[in-house]
Structure 1
Amino acid sequence: MRIAVAGGTGWIGRRVVEAVRAGGHEPVVIARSAGVDLVRGTGLAEALTGAAVVIDVSNLSTISRKRSEEFFGTATGNLLAAGRRAGVRHHVVLSIVGVDRVDIGYYVGKRRQEALVLDGAVPGTVLRSTQFHEFAAQRIAPRGPVAAVPQLLSQPIAAREVARCLVDLAVAEPAGLVPDLAGPQQLRMPEMARRLLRARGSRRVVLPVRLPGAVGRAMAEGALLPTGAGPRGTQTFDQWLASPVAQSRRGW
């Protein structure tokens, strides 16, 4: 099966491409570096030729509601329109557990993306996942003696397990909004950051930061946790810490 991966050169996208190949399928990378622009729509027709499924893990780093809505709305609309013309039978998108319970700008754009996929002309599946183990590495990426890390209660999961789940869903029938995917244990992000720094031999100090207002309260009190039964990853955060990928400072 030919499976197009939007955002296939990003750090989660690369893992999805690997999972597509491991499943015996042919991945097609959709990214600007591959000559495809999701926002402008250029190159999409050629990239989707012969593709049966699209897995969308494209992303934009922003806290702006306007930028998030513009990107996810435009990119998703272009993907769905091009997919319908190309005969794509299934459109799978990765979203975030709690995206409907935390009102930050980035999440507003993701909600827009979900709505487009669930109501689109191409049958769709939306998978919401909790934060990845690797998210702790992103929080400590800025250099300096102190790492400011948000007070966030999560149930982290390995990115590779998310990638495999996306591919399993992609080769199945479209299922709409499926049960939340999460890791095996609940952890607070500042503690994850401290443990990662210790594992890397760093003496940097972690400063827990609570975001203001209802958003900060929701994130600290579990709004980003799954609320019902669903698939669960098996790799714990400690197991991830012992892996070579946790020691790498590249590709986050």
Structure 2
Amino acid sequence: MKVVVIGGTGLIGSKVVAGLGEHGHEAVAAAPGTGVDTLTGEGLAEVLEGASVVVDVSNSPSFADDDVLHFFSTSTANLLKAEAEAGVAHHVALSVVGTDRLQESGYFRAKQVQEEQIRAAGTPYSIVHATQFFEFAKGLADGMTDGDTVRLPDARIQPMVSDDVAAAVARTAVGDPVNGVVEVGGPEVFRLEEFIRMGLTALNDPRTIVTDPQATYWGAELADDTLLPGPDADRAGTRFADWLARQK
């Protein structure tokens, strides 16, 4: 089976390509660096020739509201059009648990637009909703830092390692389209403060971490369970403490 992975040279995409290849599939990494640009449409027709499945794990290079909306709406429209012309049978996209509950954030509004475009396109599809990655604990802290203090909303999170995200995406790609959402999360639930504290402690980062009722998550207010997947979500196996121990 030929599977084209849009964003196939990035953190998740490169792991999806490797995993599919190990299982005997023809996995093709597509990105601007390989001559495929979903924003302009350059190279799409050529790379999609003979493809059965397209996996889109690309992300916007800028998270400014207008930029991220332009990226996801334009690249998704171009990709879906090219897929229809090429006869692709399954479109798989990586998105985020809680996207529809985070619409105060420009980034998540753009992801919601992407999901709506996929649903309306007519191509059989599967959308994988994953929780936050272990690798982004520091990035989350950086985005919520005020001086030397990290101010976090009072909410729970169920993070997972990027390897397990990629494995879930690859499994979905070789399965039948669900024409809906597949949710996946990590094996443990933390309070945001605990998750960030563990991540920064492992990096010997001295910032003070506090829970602040006024803090937002990329501009969105959180309820206690906004970032949590539903009860039927698949649970990945890698624990955060085990992953942190391997980083030393």
TM over 0.5: yes
Q: 5 Å matches for 1:92-171?
A: 92-103=92-103, 104-140=105-141, 146=148, 148=150, 150-151=152-153, 152-171=155-174
Distance change in 2, residues 1:83/1:229 (3 Å): same
Q: May I ask how many residue pairs the two structures share in their alignment?
A: 243
- Measured in 2, the distance between the counterparts of 1:37 and 1:121 equals 23
Distance change in 2, residues 1:150/1:178 (3 Å): same
1:242 partner letter: A
Counterpart residue number, 1:77:
77
Counterpart residue number, 2:215:
211
Distance change in 2, residues 1:24/1:62 (3 Å): same
Distance change in 2, residues 1:161/1:212 (3 Å): closer
1:94 partner letter: L
8 Å contact kept, 2:150–2:207: no
- Measured in 2, the distance between the counterparts of 1:208 and 1:179 equals 31
Identity level (%): 37
1:184 partner letter: P
Q: CA RMSD in A?
A: 2.5
Distance change in 2, residues 1:34/1:150 (3 Å): farther
- Measured in 1, the distance between the counterparts of 2:9 and 2:110 equals 21
Counterpart residue number, 2:33:
33
8 Å contact kept, 1:136–1:189: no
Secondary structure at 2:41's aligned position in 1?
coil
8 Å contact kept, 1:146–1:207: no
Unaligned runs of 5+ in 1: 248-252
- Measured in 1, the distance between the counterparts of 2:197 and 2:80 equals 41
Counterpart residue number, 1:87:
87
Shift of 1:217: 3.7
